[in-house]
Structure 1
């Protein structure tokens, strides 16, 4: 699985900010409600962040415990580790979408800040954008927790390992996995 590209997150955030701003302009023009998530969505985002962080800390503890060569190695369920990584990446992408959308709404609401008597929507959009930012930070952090550092060994890279040798030759050159006879 490839790590998240921060530039991709930035691009998604900018696109969603423009979309959120455009949707707010259109809904205000036609006297419709501003397309912002309710405050209760913050609780859901908080639960997702906490669960992702707890699972990520479990992976980090396992990784740090197994780094010490003197202690007994502890096994980790690889499915749990893979699911934690997927959850972390999904958390980062969902946070990017929420941050972008609500940042666009917040920017539009700032334009009419002094004209409105009720700035509740503006504060809700800002809170939702903050929740999205928290999801991005936790997602990227837990993704980093799931990265296994390279093992320290006495052999140079490429030697003593199956596959390619130090000069790029295949191991067992001249032998094939099947016979063509």
Structure 2
């Protein structure tokens, strides 16, 4: 599985940011409520971030040498998927709320109550934290090259390749 590219996340965030800005402009034009998540959404985002970080640290600890207990490979795969989902979700939330904040910035001097702008900024910050934790935990789940990529580590001989299709890494006597 390939690592998530920060450039892809930036492109997603930019595209969704334009959509968020457009939604805020249309909501203002037609006197509708601006589509921003409430601040209690930060609690949910925080729970997801903490859970992702705890599982990621567990995988990293095992990967870096604490191999007394066997790590469940399904748990490691779920941790990787959770980290990627966290990064993508954070990217969408960051873009959407940054677009709304940019729209609210134009009205900063005209309004006495800036709660909506601060809420959008807080949610964008929460999205940024989700992206950072997701990318970091995804790196925790990466297997070092000498363990799985088939490349020789410095000082080790090249891995032996099968001579024919029928040769395997074990002997089935």
| Range into which the TM-score falls when normalised by the shorter chain | 0.7 to 0.9
Match of 1:51 in 2: 51
Aligned length: 161
Match of 2:20 in 1: 20
Give, in whole Å, the separation in 2 of the partners of 1:85 and 1:23.
33
- Of structures 1 and 2, the larger Rg is shown by 1
Give, in whole Å, the separation in 1 of the partners of 2:39 and 2:23.
19
Give, in whole Å, the separation in 2 of the partners of 1:140 and 1:133.
11
Match of 1:3 in 2: 3
The answer to whether the aligner puts 1:109 opposite 2:109 as a matched pair is no
Give, in whole Å, the separation in 2 of the partners of 1:119 and 1:73.
54
Match of 1:69 in 2: none
Give, in whole Å, the separation in 2 of the partners of 1:35 and 1:92.
22
Give, in whole Å, the separation in 1 of the partners of 2:31 and 2:112.
16
Aligned Cα root-mean-square deviation (Å): 1.8
Q: Give structure 1 regions of 4+ aligned residues with deviation exceeding 6 angstroms.
A: none
Where do 1:47-86 residues align within 5 Å? 47-65=47-65, 74-86=69-81
Unaligned stretches of 5+ in structure 1?
Answer: 67-71, 163-170, 177-181
Give, in whole Å, the separation in 2 of the partners of 1:21 and 1:5.
24
Where do 1:1-181 residues align within 5 Å? 1-65=1-65, 74-151=69-146, 152=153, 154-156=156-158, 159-162=159-162, 171-172=163-164
